[in-house]
């Protein structure tokens, strides 16, 4: 409570504060709040090819919740969340700690190389990996030929989620690494000196000093990853051209919402999916944050 309480010359600063926030708030209302409100409105109606628009109340929500396709999509993103996010964050953390340890040859090069994929647009990354995943003419075939293996294309139904996970991991491992690394850099040297005097080993320094120091960064990275997972869309949607059977029209809730809205012209159902997913995401992100804070206060 240090910063804000002291500024208390009521009146002008308060108005000025609102003024500084206003540009963001106005645009935010226009491009975020208004569409959300509109989606809420749309979710109460059904628009039919024959018969036109009809008020249906909460019917759309009931139908989505009762549809196995919704839960199949949710299942996919939850699985993705439980597997891909930990792997990616762990890898990011590992690289960040390795670079920060000062025991690495060519640390600057590693840092940059790992970060570069972040600069590659998701479209390009997916097209690229799609080319490489091919087991008939792509890189997978080349490897099979050279190594005499018979790795199948990762775009089969059983592995396609992993194939997508790989693309996402590749794109974002460097981004998260940087956040962790940047956090590690601000740990005051005095703490390390104290640890050294105490004779603490490398591992002990990591668990006792470094990890607690970057907890905030860990939590925020986790939350953004959760949101990213729940909104999974670009990668599977572009890969659908290559794996139309493995990636169904309800593969993730977001793809389903897109299909409902653009192939089926069912705006009401699509809006209901969006709203349900928004609620689900917010609840889970909030729980993660609570947990992160509780540990912190211990």
Partner 1 sequence: MKHHHSTALRAGAIAGASLIALAGCSAGTQDPDAAAEAGGTLTVWAWEPTLEAVVEAYEAENEGVDIELVNAGTGNDQYTALQNAIQAGSGVPDIAQIEYFAVPQFAIADSLADISELGAADLDGTFAPGPWSAVSQGDAIVGMPMDSGPMAMFYNAEVFERLGVAVPETWEDYLQAARDLRAADPSVSITNDTGDAGLATSLMWQSGAEPFTVDGTTVGIDLEGDAARYAEIWQPMLDEDLFAPVSSWSDEWFAGMNDGTIASITTGAWMPANLESGAPDAAGDWRVAPMPQWEDGGAASAENGGSSLAVTAASEQAALAYDFLEYATTGDGVQLRLDAGAFPATTADLESQEFLDVEFEYFGGQQANQVFAESSANVVDGWSYLPYQVYANSIFNDTVGQAYVGDTTIVDGLAAWQEQIDAYGQEQGFTIE
Partner 2 sequence: MSAPVIVPGVTGRRPSSLRPTSERAHRRRARAVGGPRKRRSVLLTIAMAVVVIYTLLPLVWLLINATKTQADLFSTFGLWFGGEFALFDNIGRVLAYGDGIFGRWLLNTLLYVVLGAGGATLLATLGGYAIAKFRFRGRTAAIAVVLGAVAIPGTALAVPTFLMFARIGITDTPLAVILPSLISPFGLYLMWVFASESIPDELIEAARVDGASELRIFRSVCLPLLGPGIVTVLLFTTVATWNNYFLPLIMLRNPDWYPLTIGLNAWNNQATTAGGDAIFDLVITGSLLAIIPLIALFLLLQRFWQSGLAAGSVKE
- Name residues contacting partner 1, limited to 234-263 (CB under 8 A): 241-246, 248-250, 259, 262-263
Cα dist from 228 to 29, 78, 118, 224, 298, whole Å: 22, 11, 14, 6, 29
Whole-angstrom distance, CA of residue 111 vs CA of residue 185? 13
174 is a site residue for partner 2 (CB under 8 A): yes
Contacted entry of partner 1, partner 2, none for residue 298, CB cut-off 5 to 8 Å set by kind: none
Contacted entry of partner 2, partner 1, none for residue 119, CB cut-off 5 to 8 Å set by kind: partner 2
Contacted entry of partner 1, partner 2, none for residue 62, CB cut-off 5 to 8 Å set by kind: none
DSSP 83-126: HHHHHHHHHHHHHHHHHHHT--TTHHHHHHHHHGGGGS-HHHHH
Token pair of 95 as six digits: 């690289």
Whole-angstrom distance, CA of residue 188 vs CA of residue 183? 11
Residue (46 or 205) nearer to partner 1, CB: 46
Q: How far is the CB of 30 from partner 2 (least distance, A)?
A: 7
Per DSSP (E only), the strands in the chain are: 45-48, 52-55
CA angle 66, 70, 75 (to 5 degrees): 120
Window 11-70: residues binding partner 1 (CB under 8 A): 46, 48-51
**How many residues form the binding site for partner 2 (CB under 8 A)?**
126
Residue (86 or 157) nearer to partner 1, CB: 157
Window 118-137: residues binding partner 1 (CB under 8 A): 131, 134, 136-137
Window 144-173: residues binding partner 2 (CB under 8 A): 170, 173
Cα dist from 24 to 16, 18, 31, 34, 122, whole Å: 14, 10, 11, 14, 27
Token pair of 86 as six digits: 């930990």
Q: What would you measure as the largest C-alpha separation in the chain, in angstroms? A: 80
Whole-angstrom distance, CA of residue 256 vs CA of residue 248? 9
The span from the first CA to the last CA of the chain, in angstroms, equals 19
What x-and-dash track marks residues 256-285 binding partner 2 by CB under 8 A? -xx--xx----x--xx-xxx-xxx-xx--x
Contacted entry of partner 2, partner 1, none for residue 186, CB cut-off 5 to 8 Å set by kind: partner 2
Window 109-128: residues binding partner 2 (CB under 8 A): 109-110, 112-125, 127-128
Tell me which of 210, 234, 242, 251 binds partner 2, using CB under 8 A: 234
Near partner 1 by CB under 8 A, which window of 78-86, 104-112, 153-161, 284-292? 153-161
Sites of contact with partner 1 (CB under 8 A)? 46, 48-51, 131, 134, 136-138, 153, 156-157, 241-246, 248-250, 259, 262-266
């Amino acid at each position: 409570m240090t910063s804000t309480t002291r500024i208390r010359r009521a009146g002008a600063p308060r108005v000025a504060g609102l003024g500084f926030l206003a540009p963001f708030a106005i645009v935010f209302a226009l491009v975020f709040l208004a569409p959300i409100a509109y989606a809420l409105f749309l979710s109460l109606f059904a628009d039919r090819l024959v018969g036109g628009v009809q008020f249906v109340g909460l019917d759309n929500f009931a139908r989505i919740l009762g549809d196995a396709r919704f839960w199949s999509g949710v299942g996919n993103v939850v699985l993705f969340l439980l597997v891909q996010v930990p792997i990616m964050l762990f890898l990011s953390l590992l690289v960040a700690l390795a670079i920060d340890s000062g025991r690495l040859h060519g640390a600057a090069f590693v840092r940059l190389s790992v970060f570069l994929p972040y600069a590659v647009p998701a479209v390009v990354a997916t097209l690229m990996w799609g080319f490489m995943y091919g087991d008939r003419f792509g890189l997978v075939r080349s490897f099979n030929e050279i190594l005499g293996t018979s790795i199948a294309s990762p775009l089969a139904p059983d592995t396609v989620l992993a194939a997508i996970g790989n693309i996402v991991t590749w794109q974002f491992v460097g981004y998260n690494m940087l956040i962790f690394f940047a956090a590690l850099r601000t740990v005051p040297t005095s703490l390390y000196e104290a640890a050294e005097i105490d004779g603490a080993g490398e591992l002990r320094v990591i668990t006792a000093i470094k990890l607690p120091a970057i907890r905030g960064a860990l939590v925020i990275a986790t939350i953004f990853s959760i949101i990213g997972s729940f909104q999974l869309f670009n990668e599977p949607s572009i890969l659908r051209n290559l794996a139309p059977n493995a990636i169904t029209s309800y593969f993730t809730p977001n793809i389903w919402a897109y299909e409902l809205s653009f192939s089926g012209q069912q705006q009401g159902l699509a809006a209901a999916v969006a709203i349900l997913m928004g609620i689900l995401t917010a609840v889970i992100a909030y729980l993660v944050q609570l947990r992160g804070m509780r540990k912190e206060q211990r």
